[in-house]
Structure 1
Amino acid sequence: MPISTSYRTILYHILAWAAFITYEVLLVELISPTTTAWWEWTCWYTLNICLFYFFAHVVLQYTVKHKQLLLLPLLVPAIVAGYITIQVGLESVINLFRDEPESFSINRVFLLRATWRCIYFLGFSTAYWFTRQTIKNTKHINKIELQRLQAEREKAELTKGLARSQNALHQAQVSPHLLFNTLNFIYNSVQDVSPKASKGVLLLSEVMHYALQRVQEDGKTDLKNEVEHIERYIALNQLRFSYPLQLQMKCCGQLQGRIPPLLLLTFVENIFKHGDLTDPSQAAQILVSSIQNQLYFSTNNKKRKHHAARGHGIGIQNAKTRLTQYYTENDYTLAIQEDDQHHRLSLKINLT
């Protein structure tokens, strides 16, 4: 289990203090051998450690954060005086628990030693605070730099995407014009030769015209136009087969309102891709109803026993994505039920 950042930091501090205290204690013992007990060292270093963190996390943090650096010349002497006072009291208490009490007096040597010890740890505390702030500022700068690089990369990707979109727009402006002129030429050429072929060309032209037409600012089209497009799509597919397609479409209501274009067609295409439209006893059903600003759309079809699985579900997934882009979760419900033989879909949209 990995150690969290806070626990790792605490561990580093403990190890640093352990090394520092070991160094000082060994140095003192070597220079002037004493019989200082371990609990005495604990008391003194507890005071020094508290001074260290108090000055760094309270005094320096407050004065810098509130821009009160002029208070430091006043606070430092007060801290030194408080440190000396605590040392006097601590020495008196420790002396009570020693096996052999030592003589103790507040003289010049004691005051100089205590003052030097206080300034010594204040210096370490200041260095620690500056180091900590430097690391913190460096991380902040690196974070800002990373955000800037990410923003530049996103901007570059958007620029490339805009260029591709502009190219696609120019192509879309040229290709439909050529396509419809060609379809019109084919329609006029085969009208007298094959009425069925000419009807197919006409339906294809209308289907393509609807698919390529520009949408309005809200990105939607009239529900009535979508339904008419589905009817043309079904009629066009009927021309492809020599047998009648077992597919029934029923429309109810005024068919008012606006929806994203080609949304319902995606579900109808799914019927042609994966449905069995040859069984008269189980004809595919399509229902479109618009009542009181509510759109109800449902499909029910028998599945083909053998069909290519490639691309299955992609159209449905794209339709789900478009629904989430145009509507909130409360504005629509989409339910899909299927088994080995049948596929059922039910969609309800609030058109207001």
Structure 2
Amino acid sequence: MKKNIQKWFQKYKLHLLIWALFIFYETVVIGLVFNIFGHPITYIAHYTVNLFLFYLHGDLLFPWALKERKAVFWRIPFILFLEVTCFILVSYAIDKSLMFWHIMAAEEQFHLNFHYCLKISYRCLYFLGFATGYYFLITYIKERKKTSELETQHLNDIINNQKSEQELIKAENAFLKAQINPHFLFNTLDTIYHNIDASSPIAANAVIILTEMMRFAVDADKMGDYILLGDEIDQAENLLYLNQMRNNHALGFRLSYTDEVRQIYLIPLVLLTLMENVFKHGNLNVPKHEAVIEIFVKNQALHVVTDNLIDYNPSKKGGGSGLNNIEKRLRYTYGDAVDLVWQTSDANHFILRLSIPLQMLEVHNKPAGKYK
């Protein structure tokens, strides 16, 4: 309650100050000049009516009269007549009551006559003039505030646009650098290959495979929305070869696929991400627990199944962000037709099953050409 009162006072403190000065001028200053003072209750009663008329006209009736241009010509005379009439009647009733209670000096010939109505009408129009000026002042302040907010918003939009342009320029520069840096890397790898080809054919072959994989990754954004699954299978075999070479070909890992799946178009980097997940979280060093990735077509659907023994090495723990990202990309492209599930078996194997109806693949696939 106290906070509400403070909030109200803070909002209308300027109004209170102006009205206090105005009432002081009319009651004290004019009273001293003309030596005319009334009873405090008389002042309270009449100024209450004056203030009510002021805000009723300035905040409600006058804005209503101006709301529709076609109705202004009759609304303004109507509210003026209504306000003046009510003000005269209320003022007359207050004066009669004050005389009855002997608060104001009684007049023998006090009637609701033309002279009284003329005097009170002048007083009413006096406050209606102030209220009209108050309305236009408040309207002007609101419009200025609205204009200022629009200008501020426009300025903020300009600043944001400039920031966006700067970010775009930075992105373009980064893109150009990204284009330059891979070329530098590929040239360096090519130099290494020629230097070691004669002395170490195995290492040279690894460099060639690594170069091909990196070129595939760098050019992935230029392949279009879909690529031949066969192209990604080739890179998966390259990835498997490099990992086998690093581990003296001791990893238990088998990549199995049929020839028909190579001609299917799919969004890129699905198979490679699944294979990376096996390398990252799988234990591939137990002979009886070979990791397997199978890709095949069955029941008019493309199926990808991965099965690997789980490696509980703490350094290999992850949050599953790669699989979640694959699921989001697949569902965004193929909708709810995608069936992607994974689970841990009783034998501590991580098993993932992905299936996509061939019909959905044919509908969405718009090949951009074979990766080279």
When residues 180 and 311 of structure 1 are mapped into structure 2, their CA distance, relative to the original with a 3 A threshold, is farther
Is residue 294–residue 348 contact of structure 1 (8 Å, CA) maintained in 2? yes
Distance 2:121 2:145 in 1: 36
Partner of 1:167: 177
Moved over 6 A (4+): 7-11, 70-75
Identical amino acids, percent of aligned pairs: 20
Secondary structure at the aligned position of 2:296 is classed as strand
When residues 89 and 208 of structure 1 are mapped into structure 2, their CA distance, relative to the original with a 3 A threshold, is same
Letter in 1 for 2:100: E
Partner of 2:87: 87
Q: Which of 303, 307, 312 is 1:305 aligned to?
A: 312
Flag structure 2 segments of 5+ consecutive residues without an equivalent: 32-36, 365-372
Distance 1:171 1:311 in 2: 29
Secondary structure at the aligned position of 1:264 is classed as helix
Distance 1:8 1:300 in 2: 70
Partner of 1:287: 294
Is residue 55–residue 122 contact of structure 1 (8 Å, CA) maintained in 2? no
Per-residue CA distance 1:193-249 (angstroms, 9 max, x = gap): xxx555544543443343344655623311121122212321321222235322233
TM superposition score normalised by structure 2? 0.72
1:311 CA displacement: 7.0
1:141 CA displacement: 1.2
Alignment of 1:1-352 (within 5 A): 13=11, 29-30=27-28, 31=31, 32-34=37-39, 35-36=41-42, 41-54=47-60, 57-59=63-65, 62=67, 79-91=79-91, 100=100, 103=110, 104-107=112-115, 108-180=118-190, 182-183=192-193, 186-187=196-197, 189-191=199-201, 196-197=202-203, 199-213=205-219, 216=222, 218-242=224-248, 244-251=250-257, 254-255=260-261, 256-290=263-297, 294-309=301-316, 313=320, 315-316=322-323, 319=326, 323=330, 327=333, 329-330=335-336, 332=338, 334-337=340-343, 341-349=348-356, 350-351=360-361, 352=364
Distance 1:39 1:288 in 2: 93
Distance 2:314 2:23 in 1: 84
1:100 CA displacement: 1.8
Distance 1:333 1:22 in 2: 77
Flag structure 1 segments of 5+ consecutive residues without an equivalent: none
Secondary structure at the aligned position of 1:298 is classed as strand
When residues 227 and 243 of structure 1 are mapped into structure 2, their CA distance, relative to the original with a 3 A threshold, is closer
When residues 226 and 26 of structure 1 are mapped into structure 2, their CA distance, relative to the original with a 3 A threshold, is same
Distance 1:288 1:157 in 2: 42
Distance 1:336 1:21 in 2: 76
Letter in 1 for 2:42: T
Per-residue CA distance 1:253-274 (angstroms, 9 max, x = gap): 8324323332321221122122
Per-residue CA distance 1:248-298 (angstroms, 9 max, x = gap): 333358324323332321221122122111123333232323457744333
Letter in 2 for 1:146: N
Highest Rg: 1 or 2? 2
When residues 140 and 278 of structure 1 are mapped into structure 2, their CA distance, relative to the original with a 3 A threshold, is same
Distance 1:41 1:292 in 2: 90
| RMSD of aligned alpha carbons | 4.1
Secondary structure at the aligned position of 1:279 is classed as coil
Secondary structure at the aligned position of 2:254 is classed as strand
Per-residue CA distance 1:68-99 (angstroms, 9 max, x = gap): 5x997986565434421232343356567667
- After the TM superposition, which of the residue ranges 121-130 and 298-307 deviates more from structure 2? 298-307
Larger relative contact order, structure 1 or 2 (CA cutoff 8 Å, min sep 6): 2
TM superposition score normalised by structure 1? 0.75
1:120 CA displacement: 1.0
Secondary structure at the aligned position of 1:281 is classed as coil
Per-residue CA distance 1:299-336 (angstroms, 9 max, x = gap): 23222232425876564465466557x62653645445
Is residue 65–residue 76 contact of structure 2 (8 Å, CA) maintained in 1? no
When residues 237 and 44 of structure 1 are mapped into structure 2, their CA distance, relative to the original with a 3 A threshold, is same
Partner of 2:34: none
When residues 173 and 126 of structure 1 are mapped into structure 2, their CA distance, relative to the original with a 3 A threshold, is same
1:169 CA displacement: 1.6
Is residue 334–residue 345 contact of structure 1 (8 Å, CA) maintained in 2? yes
When residues 174 and 288 of structure 1 are mapped into structure 2, their CA distance, relative to the original with a 3 A threshold, is same
Is residue 253–residue 292 contact of structure 2 (8 Å, CA) maintained in 1? yes
Is residue 299–residue 345 contact of structure 1 (8 Å, CA) maintained in 2? yes
Distance 2:335 2:6 in 1: 44
Is residue 65–residue 71 contact of structure 2 (8 Å, CA) maintained in 1? no
Per-residue CA distance 1:4-47 (angstroms, 9 max, x = gap): 9xx99977555555555555556555443233386765454333
